[in-house]
Each structure stands twice: as C-alpha cells, then as structure tokens.
A = this chain, B = another copy of it.
C-alpha cells in the first residue's frame, strides 16, 4: 500500500494489420486493421520476463493507473498499480489493454469503417472474448514478450484471463481471475439483455446508426442504473444510502425522494457522457457468449504449468462465489495449480475495485512467488 503513485501517463495505440490486414473472428467474419489503446507502467527488463497484462471490465479502459495530463482523476486501478503496490512498477512492467469492441481508443462500433469511411455502427461484427484476447496477443507480441508473468482482471477482465489460459497457456506463467465466471448464468444473461433492450428501445438508437446525431442516452442511462444495482450488494446499499432522503419529507411527486435514486441517476447520466451505446451492446454480447465451462477450460491431457490464483467476494451476487469455485474445481480436476481466496467483503461485485488492502496482500505475495520460481527455473 506504500509508495508514491506513477504520476503522469498517456494512452498509446497499437495498430496491426494481418495480411490481408484482417483478423479472422470467432464468427468467421474478418476485421481489420485493428487498433488497441493501451497504457504501460514500469520498465520491461532485458529478459522480458517481468510483464503483467491487466484486463478491464465492461466499462473500463486502458487508463488503469496514474494521471492523464490536466486530469485529476486517477486510473481505475490506481490503488493497485504503482511503486510498492500490488502490481509493483519498481519490479514489473504492467500493460493495460483496452478491449476490441470498446470505445476508448480501440477499434469498435464507433470507429471508422475503412470500407465506407463512416462509423461501423451495426456493421461492426459481433466479437467474442476470444477475439479480444487474440488482438491482445498481437499487442504482447509487438513487445517481443514470449511469456507474461501474469494476466489479471476482474469481472469481464477475468473472462479474458480465463481465455488467455485457454488460448495461450504456454505464454503465461500465471493467471489471476477475479470475481468472474466460466460462463454467464441465465440471470447474468438476463441482466445484460435488459440493458441491451433499454438501449435499443431508445428511439435515438436508430438501429445503431446514430453517430453525428443524438445518442440513445436515456436508454443507456437506464441500462447503467440497473447495472449499478447489480454491482453493489444489498448490505452495501443499506450502508451507503439506507432510506435517507434528499429532503425532510416525501415530495409526493415523481421527483427524486431518496438519495439512492439521485445516486443512480447521476451514475446513469455520467456514464452516457463517456460510453458508446453500441459498444455496450457488443461487449455485453461478448460476455453472454463466453463459455469455458466444464471441460472447455482445460483440454484433457494438457499439462499446464500456469499457476492460478482465483479471487471471489462473498457478497458478490452478480458473479456469485459458486462461480469462482467452479473455476477452481475445473482447474483442480485437470491438475492445474490453483489457490482460491474468498474475501469476506460486503461491497458486492464492485469489491474487485474497492478491496485494495486484501487484494494487495494476496496478489503481491502470489506474484513474488511466481516471479521467484520463474527465476530459479533458469
């Protein structure tokens, strides 16, 4: 927890163009050229064996730590990344990659379609978690990193971690999936689908062709408001809001009476300023399609040397701990080395962003141990 921050940082961009400048997606469609926005902190050592890849959740971006010029808001995992922190930038080279399909500098539905010179909109192909990871692999290759010390992420970031293991287990020493699942349950699919329907119900959505016009802001705000309920827990909402009111008495109108209402409206309104509604559709769909359950995570006969630390949070009802345990069970069943940590947090799903102290302790020691073992191997 000690140590100063990493200071000013800026987003970088990596563009790759497969011959013929395209990536073949899971759907069979082709997409290219592709740009990924990313940030990097610390120094890649000469052996290139100290690199950690951080993967973000639904609404995250490449800006995981430090500060952008003239911006007082730190990156989304700034408490975890920096000198002396969980991801110690004095020791490790930390890369955070924005996802394919996003709207924070990487190629997504709001990007210009080179074939039409207009934003893709719904002409953007449906992408999967595997597609996101395949694009990230190109980024890692561009650094000539053969083996990542670790891949780490919470929520959808954790799905990418699992997919990295599935697709490139020889290229990762360790993996830390946090508050995530091998597959979405019908309840998780249902919440995503309601969010998508809220966006698509907004007349401004215009079948995705709204760029340069009014965005479907109200629909996206409704989706985000609902999302926020699922990110918190009953207990954390009680603690944060209880039934506290904005004014002393009920308004007897449909104006905001309770603080929790105002909070959700604020969260919805601020989200629409920074997020593309079409990206919301594409990313949630990728999460719903993700399925590495059962034998799909580890192919029988594979002898993986990747070491896992799986982290779950007791009050997380969006990604309940039984889903973390399923990951552990599948790994153990296939003789993959795995440590399971269940953190008794009351923050719900948001705990992966908020439980800094516990996660720092766990992750710091795990990474040290993996790094030490890796050095001893040689």
- Chain A residues in contact with chain B, CB under 8 A? 27, 29, 122, 125-126, 183-187, 189-191, 193-194, 196-198, 200-203, 218-219, 221-222, 225-226, 228-229, 232, 234, 237-238, 240-243, 250, 252-254, 257-258, 260-261, 264-265, 268, 281, 285, 288-289, 291, 317, 320
Query: Which residues on the B side are within 8 Å of A257 (C-beta)?
Result: 288-289
A238 to B183, CA, bound (A): 12
Q: Are A237 and B186 in contact (CB under 8 A)?
A: yes
Question: Are the C-beta atoms of B258 and A186 separated by less than 8 Å?
Answer: yes
Check B281 against A237 for contact (C-beta < 8 Å).
no
Copies of this chain, complex-wide, total 2
A-B contact pairs, 8 of them (CB 8 A): A186-B237, A187-B229, A187-B232, A190-B229, A191-B226, A201-B221, A257-B289, A317-B317
Q: Specify which of B222, B232, B234, B291 is in contact with A197 (CB 8 Å cutoff).
A: B222
A276 → chain B, closest Cβ, in Å? 15
Residue of B nearest to A239 (CB): B186
Bound together, the chains give a CA A203 to CA B193 distance in angstroms of 21
Question: Are B198 and A222 touching (Cβ within 8 A)?
Answer: yes
Q: Which residue of B lies closest to A183 (CB)?
A: B243
Docked pose: A257 CA to B128 CA in angstroms = 14
In the docked arrangement, what's the CA distance between A18 and B253, Å?
Answer: 25
State whether A193 touches B126 (Cβ < 8 A).
no
In the complex, are the beta carbons of B222 and A190 less than 8 A apart?
no
- In contact, B221 and A186 (Cβ under 8 angstroms): no
In the bound complex, residues from chain B placing their C-beta under 8 Å from that of A194 are 222, 225-226, 229, 264
* Docked pose: A221 CA to B226 CA in angstroms: 14
Q: Nearest chain-B residue to A208 (Cβ)? A: B254
Shortest CB distance A141–B (Å)? 26
Distance (whole angstroms) from the CB of A131 to the closest CB of chain B: 11
Chain B contacts of A197 at CB under 8 A? 221-222, 225, 265, 268
| A296–B27 alpha-carbon span in the complex (Å) | 59
Q: Is the CB of B222 within 8 A of A222?
A: yes
Nearest-Cβ distance from residue A163 to partner chain B, whole angstroms? 16
CA distance A193 to B260 in the complex (A): 9
Given A185-B238, A187-B238, A226-B226, list of 9 further CB < 8 A pairs? Answer: A126-B252, A186-B240, A186-B243, A186-B258, A190-B229, A193-B225, A194-B229, A234-B320, A250-B289
CB atoms of A261 and B317 under 8 A apart: no
CB distance from A187 to the nearest CB of B (A): 5
Write out the residue numbers on chain B whose beta carbons fall within 8 Å of the beta carbon of A320: 234
Chain B residue contacts of A250, Cβ below 8 A: 27, 126, 289
Q: For A260, what are the chain B residues with a Cβ–Cβ distance below 8 Å?
A: 186, 189-190, 193
What's the nearest-Cβ distance from chain B to residue A69, in Å?
Answer: 36
- List of B residues within 8 angstroms of A281 by Cβ: 254
Cβ–Cβ contact B196 & A198, under 8 A: no
Given contacts A201-B202, A254-B281, A258-B288, contact A187 B222 (CB under 8 A): no
Residue with the greatest number of chain B CB neighbours at <10 A, chosen from A29, A186, A264, A317: A186
Please name all residues of chain B whose beta carbon is closer than 8 Å to the beta carbon of A187 when the two chains form the complex. Answer: 229, 232, 234, 237-238
Report the 7 A-B pairs with minimum CB-CB distance, sorted nearest first.
A201-B218, A186-B241, A27-B252, A186-B260, A186-B237, A126-B252, A193-B261
